[in-house]
Structure 1
Amino acid sequence: MSELFAGVQLFNQEGETVDGAEYLKGKVVGLYFSASWCPPCRQFTPKLKRFYEEIKKKHPEFEVVFVSRDREDEDLREYFNEHMGAWAAIPFGNEKIQELLAKYEVKTIPAMRIVKPNGDVVVQDARTEIQEKGKEDPEALWEEWLAFYD
């Protein structure tokens, strides 16, 4: 992810800013495309949060980056701080958001991609996989993803 997030500042729920390339170095990254105004997003976000928290217990190398489709900074921050897991977000208005939407051909939200450090997609529809398999056995789904990762 160093190349993909070089020069991009991310923020966490404490409001701290972190260097994207450094923060994601050595991580298995899920890009989560979502917005506060989107009902299906609001349904999926708690499922992703539970999955994330379960996986992070044994696999600190898992990280999620919130790529917001919100229309205002205040909406992004409220949704992020009140509903999401302890992951990072791209600031409102950052050009990286549009770049990622185009690169990963995100037409609808919520969407989630698991990507390699170079940006190649490992899992195209991680949202569906988390919804269908992530609740019963998060560890098995994680192992399945890692089989494609290397």
Structure 2
Amino acid sequence: MSELLAGVKLFNQDGDVVDGGEYLNGKVVGLYFSAGWCPPCRAFTPKLKRFFEEIKKSHPEFEVVFVSRDRADEDLREYFNEHMGNWVAIEFGNPKIQELLAQYEVKTIPSMRIIKPNGDVVVQDARTEIQDKGSDPEALWEEWLAFYE
């Protein structure tokens, strides 16, 4: 993932901007495709946030990148800042968003993929896995890492 997002500007909830390649180097990355206008997204985001916070306690190498389907920058930022975890987002309007949607064949949202540094998919439907197995975050994390190696 670090290779795939090298040179892409990512921002966090504090407004800090980082280079995707540098920031994601050495991390296990989840791409989270979502939007504030999407009711299923609004239902899943708190579950992802809880899962993320639990995993980060013992696995600081986990990172989520929000790939927004919002229709305006202010909508993206409001949804990101008010509802999401302490992760990063791709800036509104960045052409990388469309590339990622196509590359990972994202047809509906919310959708989440766990990705290797080179962009290969480790977990195709992380959203469903978090919903179904997220009550035991550590076991699900270990399951993902078995495919990650």
Pairwise same-fold verdict (TM > 0.5):
yes
Give the corresponding residue for 1:61: 61
Aligned-residue CA RMSD (Å)? 0.4
Give the corresponding residue for 1:71: 71
Report deviation, 1:6. 1.2
SS at match of 1:49: helix
Matching of residue 32 in structure 1 with residue 4 in structure 2: no
Matching of residue 41 in structure 1 with residue 46 in structure 2: no
Report deviation, 1:2. 2.5
The superposition leaves residues 69-92 of structure 1 with CA deviations (integer Å, 9 ceiling, x where unpaired) of 000000000000000000000000
Structure 2 CA distance for aligned equivalents of residues 145 and 134 of structure 1: 12
TM-score by length of 2: 0.99
SS at match of 1:114: strand
Structure 1 CA distance for aligned equivalents of residues 51 and 81 of structure 2: 17
Give the 5 Å matches for 1:100-119: 100-119=100-119
Report deviation, 1:53. 0.0
After superposing on structure 2, the runs of 4+ consecutive aligned residues of structure 1 that deviate more than 3 Å are: none
Give the partner amino acid of 2:122: V
Give the corresponding residue for 1:131: 131
TM-score by length of 1: 0.99
Unaligned runs of 5+ in 1: none
Report deviation, 1:14. 0.1
Unaligned runs of 5+ in 2: none
Give the corresponding residue for 1:149: 148
Percent identity over the alignment is 85
